[in-house]
Amino acid sequence: LLAAVTEGDPRDFGGHDLLGDLVKNVCPAGPESGSPTPGCTAKGDFHGATYADGQALAVLALLRGGVEPPAGTEERLTQLICQDGSVTGILLSPGEYCDGDPATTGLVALVLDEAGGHKDAVAKMRTYLKKAQLSSGAFPAYNGAATGSVAPTAYAAQALRALGDGDAADA
């Protein structure tokens, strides 16, 4: 994304092929394989990402760069969707306790919507975001918070607008 913002070439940015580096740094397996790769919590993680926003931004960078995200990277984002439709900010291992937040949910919804092919997952996140919105129109930093926060409101409002809920985004 930095290369795009600075009008640089992500395939030749400071002598590095940033998109190629992303593609080469996808975890082939997680701890369940018996021989985990350090920095990988599950198959499909970008090595060392550790947080869902890093995973989402890596997928987005590839999409914006015209590169098909490697197998498992988008699916990994769908594995971070909690039962209530929120997305956890931490790259959890499968089966771990899941508690998401509006900021991460908004970002992941935007990325999976742009990637395409994740209609049900995006719909679940959209429903969560509409329920998480406070009466003030803002979004809380975490589930159960009574006050709004700038970053979650920005991500969630962008996602709702992109998903066709402009009225909720403008609330």
Query: What does the pLDDT look like over 18-48, one tens digit per residue?
Result: 899 999 999 998 877 777 678 888 899 999 8
CB count in 10 Å sphere of residue 7: 6
Q: Whole-prediction pTM value? A: 0.91
Ramachandran angles phi, psi of 16, nearest 5°: -115, 145
CA 36/CA 39 separation, integer angstroms:
9
Cα within 13 Å of Cα(66), Cβ side: 4
**pLDDT score recorded for residue 129:** 98
Could you give the percent of the chain with pLDDT greater than 90?
A: 73
Residue of 166, 160, 170 lying closest to 106 (CA atoms): 160
Mean pLDDT, residues 139-144 taken together: 95
Other CB atoms within 10 A of residue 52 CB: 27
The CATH number assigned to the domain holding 101 equals: 1.50.10.20
User: In total, how many domains does the chain have?
Assistant: 1
* 5: Cβ contacts below 8 Å, ≥ 6 apart: none
Query: What was the pLDDT predicted at 5?
Result: 62
Asked if pLDDT for residue 149 goes beyond 60, the answer is yes
Q: What is the pLDDT of residue 155?
A: 97
Q: Could you list the residue range(s) of the whole structural domain that residue 84 is in?
A: 2-169
Residue pLDDT, tens place only, 1-24: 565 566 778 887 788 888 999 999
- Residues 27 and 49: their CA atoms lie apart, in Å, by 10
Given a cut of 70, whether residue 120 has pLDDT beyond it is yes
Exposure string of 151-163, with b = 16+ CB inside 10 Å and e = fewer, is ebbebbbebbebb
In this prediction, residue 3 carries a pLDDT of 59
Q: What is the pLDDT of residue 48?
A: 86
Mean of pLDDT values over 95-120: 96
